[in-house]
């Protein structure tokens, strides 16, 4: 329990576009942080099905104009909402640190830029105008019919490993015209409300503004969740997070209430023997691998934790020596020193280091970077900017270590992707990228094997 002199951090809510303040409910986190939130008025967090949502019939062109104004509002941050959120994040359980958060918030406006949003609409729904009303459905003559990508009623269990999750959720939610309840994550209690407060400033009272609520309750609170997670209020539950969050969400899924899951994932890297052609190629491959390992200080799903190197043990050791120094580099999405290797992992790794014939360890446990070389993947999840390097005879052999929980595989050199992508896809992998580009993504591509906005909407038919 927190000591009595710990001052609670006040967390505002946004309900249907309006800021709600209050300190009626206190939550104590495992690290001793205490937050205070307004009490929840559950009735205000749902939209009756007897009424259309505020933005259901707003033209997409108008919504894109609102989002463009939001993008500019975030870029300027005239009201200081993002600056306030950044300082507040540093006082809670978020582990990214000031430099990474500053750079991330400074670039947040790009998530809502016009070209990016149009690209998302084209790729995920098939066109900018698909979301506007009813359209003829392609059917063999003489059959006719119409179809509409009907705006959804969604409740979102948010992830907090990067503020970008809040930005992309709000962008997708606005463009699908639905009504959205965002349950904020304990490690990011400020990004969603900062964005929605900016939206309320640039588009006060607008239908899109009134379509969003963002609140906090402790995950798994059955009193709240059993009341809200019902088909009479919402069509789907969009869940991000770890295995516990997803399994908790599944208990409420049933007829009329669907789960759209951004499952917990891990990522890995493949380095071909081409990396050892010269000192320059070795340095290039090591730097690209370090970029992917350290994404958001290894807090993101796209961050690599295992690297499979095609070559001998001696080749792998050369790669490890080149890699470890690159993990400490300050980059846009990583700091020179991140969270330390957890104590329980440190003890396990120190034990491995004593087995010189099977394992070697480079680096430090202080969050600046650690590399473990082993003949087989270690039996634990590296974290704290730690990565496991495993030599293999052929990159094709490393496919055996990928599965449905593997999100991204970075490959060096990129020419090797063609031979690996089908076997990797068969193993369950969702993304194959050039090494160093794990964070790439962007509009026009699936996320976790599906197009999110296509899943968000309800496809309704009017048939003859």
pLDDT of amino acid 2? 44
- Stretch (H or E) spanning 199: helix 191-202
The pLDDT assigned to 1 comes to 41
Beta-carbon contacts of 179 under 8 Å, excluding residues fewer than 6 positions away, are 47, 53, 54, 151, 152, 153, 154, 211, 212
Q: Which token pair is 239? A: 């869940």
Buried b (16+ CB within 10 A) or exposed e, 411-431: bbbbebbeebeeebeeeebbb
**DSSP letter string over 65-132?**
HHHHHHHHHHHH-TT-HHHHHHHHHHTTT--S-HHHHHHHHHTGGGGG-HHHHHHHHHHHHSSSSTTS
Q: How far apart are CA 186 and CA 71, in angstroms?
A: 25
Q: How far apart, in whole angstroms, are the C-alpha atoms of residue 246 and residue 391? A: 34
Angle ∠(335,336,340) on CA atoms, nearest 5: 85
State both tokens at 302: 């796209």
Q: Which domains does the chain have, with CATH numbers?
A: 9-263+448-463 (3.40.605.10), 266-434 (3.40.309.10)
Burial of residue 44 (CB within 10 Å: 0-12, 13-18, 19+) is middle
Residue 220 confidence (pLDDT): 83
pLDDT at 159: 86
Provide the pairing of β-strand 258-262 with 266-271. Answer: unpaired
CA distance 429 to 415: 18
pLDDT digit of tens for each residue in the chain (464 aa)?
A: 444 556 888 899 999 999 999 989 888 887 778 888 999 999 999 998 999 999 999 999 999 999 999 999 999 999 999 999 999 888 776 677 888 899 999 999 998 988 899 999 999 998 888 899 999 988 888 888 999 999 999 999 998 888 989 999 999 999 999 999 999 998 899 999 999 999 999 999 999 999 999 999 988 888 999 999 999 999 999 988 777 777 888 888 889 999 998 877 899 999 999 999 999 999 999 999 999 999 998 888 899 999 999 999 999 999 999 999 999 999 998 988 888 888 888 888 888 877 767 889 999 999 899 999 999 999 899 988 999 999 999 999 999 999 999 999 999 999 999 999 999 999 999 999 999 999 876 677 888 889 999 999 999 999 88
Q: Model-level pTM?
A: 0.90
Beta pairing class for 9-10 and 34-37:
parallel
For residue 435, how far is the Cα from the chain centroid?
19
Residue 331: strand pairing partners: 334
**Preceding peptide of 394 cis, ω within 30°:** no
């Amino acid at each position: 329990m927190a000591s009595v002199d710990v001052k609670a951090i006040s967390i505002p809510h946004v309900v249907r576009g309006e800021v709600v303040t209050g300190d009626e409910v206190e939550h104590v986190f495992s690290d001793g942080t205490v937050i205070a939130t307004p009490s929840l008025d559950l009735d205000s967090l749902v939209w009756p099905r007897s009424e259309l949502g505020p933005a259901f019939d707003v033209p997409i062109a108008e919504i894109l104009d609102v989002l463009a104004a939001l993008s500019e509002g975030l870029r300027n941050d005239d009201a200081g909402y993002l600056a306030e959120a950044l300082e507040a994040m540093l006082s809670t359980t978020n582990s990214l640190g000031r430099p990474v958060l500053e750079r991330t918030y400074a670039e947040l406006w790009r998530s809502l830029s016009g070209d990016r949003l149009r690209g998302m609409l084209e790729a995920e729904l098939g066109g900018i105008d698909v979301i506007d009303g009813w359209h003829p459905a392609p059917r063999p003559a003489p059959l006719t019919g119409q179809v509409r990508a009907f705006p959804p009623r969604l409740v979102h269990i948010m992830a907090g490993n990067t503020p970008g999750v809040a930005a992309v959720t709000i962008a997708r939610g606005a463009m699908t015209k639905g009504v959205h309840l965002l349950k904020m994550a304990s490690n990011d209690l400020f990004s969603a409300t900062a964005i929605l407060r900016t939206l309320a400033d640039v588009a006060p009272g607008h239908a899109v503004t009134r379509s969003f609520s963002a609140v906090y309750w402790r995950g798994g609170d059955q009193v709240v969740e059993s009341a809200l997670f019902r088909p009479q209020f919402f069509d789907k539950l969009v869940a991000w997070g770890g295995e516990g969050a997803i399994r908790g969400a599944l208990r409420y899924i049933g007829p009329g209430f669907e789960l759209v899951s951004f499952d917990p994932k891990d990522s890995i890297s493949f380095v071909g023997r081409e990396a050892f052609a010269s000192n320059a190629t070795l340095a290039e491959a090591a730097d690209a691998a370090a970029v992917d390992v350290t994404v958001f200080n290894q807090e993101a799903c796209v961050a690599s934790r295992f690297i499979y190197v095609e070559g001998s043990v001696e080749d792998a050791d050369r790669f490890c020596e080149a890699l470890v120094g690159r993990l400490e580099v300050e980059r846009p999405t990583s700091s020179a020193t991140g969270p330390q290797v957890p104590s329980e992992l440190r003890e396990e790794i120190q034990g491995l280091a004593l087995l010189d014939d099977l394992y070697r360890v480079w680096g430090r446990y202080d969050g600046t970077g650690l590399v473990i070389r082993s003949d087989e993947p270690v039996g634990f999840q590296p974290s704290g900017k730690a990565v496991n390097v495993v030599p293999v005879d052929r990159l094709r052999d490393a496919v055996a270590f990928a599965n449905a929980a593997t999100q991204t595989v970075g490959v060096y050199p990129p020419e090797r992707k063609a031979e690996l992508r089908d076997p990797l896809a068969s193993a369950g992998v969702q993304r194959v990228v050039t090494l160093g580009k794990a964070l790439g993504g962007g509009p026009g591509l699936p996320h976790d094997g599906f197009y999110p906005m296509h899943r968000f909407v309800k496809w309704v038919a009017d048939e003859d």
